[in-house]
Amino acid sequence: MDEAIVRIGVSLPKNLLAEFDSIIRSRGYSSRSEAIRDAIRMYINEYKWLEKESGEVIGVVSVIYDHKYRGVTDTIISLQHDFGDVVTTTMHIHIDEENCLEMITVKGDMSKIKKMVGRLSALRGVTSVKFITAFKEEKF
């Protein structure tokens, strides 16, 4: 299938672009465009996979955030309480002076977990949210 190429403009913070360029050089990409296309494909595949998932699952939500953002830590804790029916365990790790990693194990309905992931992702100060399903079955 022959697809037309469309040019777009993207604004990024300088440090994010520098980190991206470093990674694409080490991975051997011939251009930023090639790397961006690959990254977009991976994002789309992950999104589609998560959208297909349904029913009862067990997994881990990892959240990296800058604890210096006002209220982010309290909001993350509050969200864990709001979703107490799917949150089973949490672990907090100090990465460096500013950044923390929250590992949240979950068990329950995928739609509720997706809602929690979406709310976590929208928080100011949160830099990364990943959800990995470890197990899916109709009955545990």
- Could you tell me which residues are annotated as the binding site for Ni(2+)? 81, 92, 94, 100
> Exposed, middle or buried: residue 121 (CB in 10 Å: 0-12, 13-18, 19+)?
middle
80 backbone φψ class: left, alpha, beta (φ>0; ψ -120 to 50): alpha
C-alpha 134/C-alpha 106 separation (Å) is 10
Is-contact 40 53, C-beta < 8 A?
Answer: no
Binding residues: 81, 92, 94, 100
User: Within 13 Å, how many C-alpha atoms sit on residue 35's CB side?
Assistant: 15
